Amino acid sequence: NNSSQLSSLPLHILLYVNGIYYIFYFLATLAMIIYKSQVFSYPDDFLAPDLAVLFLMAILEVPRLYLGFKGNLTEAEAPLGLSLGLTVGSVVLCVYLLLWQTYVLWADVVLNAVLLSAYGLESGLKVTAIAAFVS
C-alpha cells in the first residue's frame, strides 16, 4: 500500500472507461429512440420525456466525470463528494430509462444494466477514496 499516493488507480481507470462507454451509450440510445419512433407508434407527449431524460443525463455526465477525475487526482474530497451526488442523479435517470421508458427494448436493458453496474462500482470506489482522503 503506497502511503504516499492516496489516489485510487481503479477509480481512475473506471472513470476513464465510463467516459468512453457513455459516449457509445448515448449514441446508441438516441439511435434506438429514433428507430422506435419510426417503427412503433410513439406520440409526441411520450417521446418528449424520454428524450429529455437522455439529454439531461448527458449534461450531468460531463461535470460528474470531470469532478471525479479532479477529486481523485488532487486527493480532495469535496469534488469527489459532489461527483458522488451527481452520480446519484445519473443513477435515477438510468433507472428511468431502464424501467419507465415508453418502449424498453432488450438492447436498452443490456446497455442500462451495464451503465448501472458501472455507476455502482464507481460509487463504491469513490466512497473508499473519500474515506482514504479524509483519514
Partner 1 sequence: VAKLCVCDLLVAQCDVNCCCDPDCSAEDFSLFTSCSVPVVIGDSHLCSQKAAVYSLDVEANPPERIFKIIDQVNPSIFCIHATNYKQALYLKSPEMPTPENFDRLLDKFGGASFSAEPDSWNLDTDVQDPPDANETHRYEYGVPVQTEDAFLRLPSPVVSSWCSDANPAGFLVNQATKCIRSVSVEKCDSIQALSMLFYINSSILASVFQVNITVQSIVVQSLNGMRNVLNDSDVLRLPVLLGELCINVVLGVNYHITYTDTGEIIGAAAAFVLGAISKEALSIEQSFEISFTQENTEPVPLCGNPGYVVGLPVRAGFQPQGYPCPAGFLSNKHSQLTILQSTSTQDCLAAQGARAPVLFGYNMISGCTLRITAAMKCQPLAQTLLDVLKGQSFPEYVASFGNSQAQNVLDWVPITQLHISEQRICNTLQSSCQIPVSLGIEVKWTKYGSLVNPQARIVNVTATITTTTLKQLPSGRERIIPVTSSVVFTDISSPAEPGYKAWPTINIKLPFDFFYPFV
Query: Which residues of this chain interact with partner 1, rule CB under 8 A?
Result: 32, 35, 39-41, 46, 99-110
* 8 to 40, 108, 110, 122: CA distances (angstroms): 46, 31, 28, 11
- Report whether 126 contacts 80 (CB < 8 A): yes
Minimum Å gap between C-beta 36 and partner 1 is 9
Minimum Å gap between C-beta 27 and partner 1 is 15
Residue 15 or 115: the one with the smaller Cβ distance to partner 1 is 115
Cell of 55: 439529454
Judged on CB neighbours under 10 Å (0-12, 13-18, 19+), 30 is middle
Residue 83 or 101: the one with the smaller Cβ distance to partner 1 is 101
Residue 4 or 38: the one with the smaller Cβ distance to partner 1 is 38
Minimum Å gap between C-beta 89 and partner 1 is 21
